[in-house]
Amino acid sequence: MWYVYILECKNRSFYTGITNNLERRLEEHKNGKGGKFTRAFKANKLIYSEPYDTKNEALKREALIKSLTRKKKQGLISGNK
């Protein structure tokens, strides 16, 4: 199982990523071992995730979410897909 996830950082920005182990990846972000962006802006909390059967599906969805405006990401997070 793969997951696409969105974190909210302490500066209120969003970080979108994928992983096959959501708990481990969140710990990495919180401990400064995640991506360069979350090391710089400090991951605050998980605010959204979606499960996928394959890495390829997750990568495609991640790319789509990253291309969304902040307003559209907020809609996705609040349940207005």
Q: Per-residue pLDDT tens for 39-81?
A: 888 888 999 999 999 999 999 999 999 999 999 999 999 986 5
Q: In the structure encoding, which two tokens stand for residue 69, read together?
A: 């405006």
Q: In the structure encoding, which two tokens stand for residue 2, read together?
A: 């793969």
Q: What is the CATH number of the domain that holds 15?
A: 3.40.1440.10
Q: pLDDT (tens digit, 9 = 90+) per residue, 31-40?
A: 888 778 888 8
For residue 52, the enclosing domain spans 2-77
Structural domains in the chain (count): 1
Contact 5, 45 (CB under 8 A): no
The amino acid sitting at 30 is K
pTM above 0.85, yes or no: yes
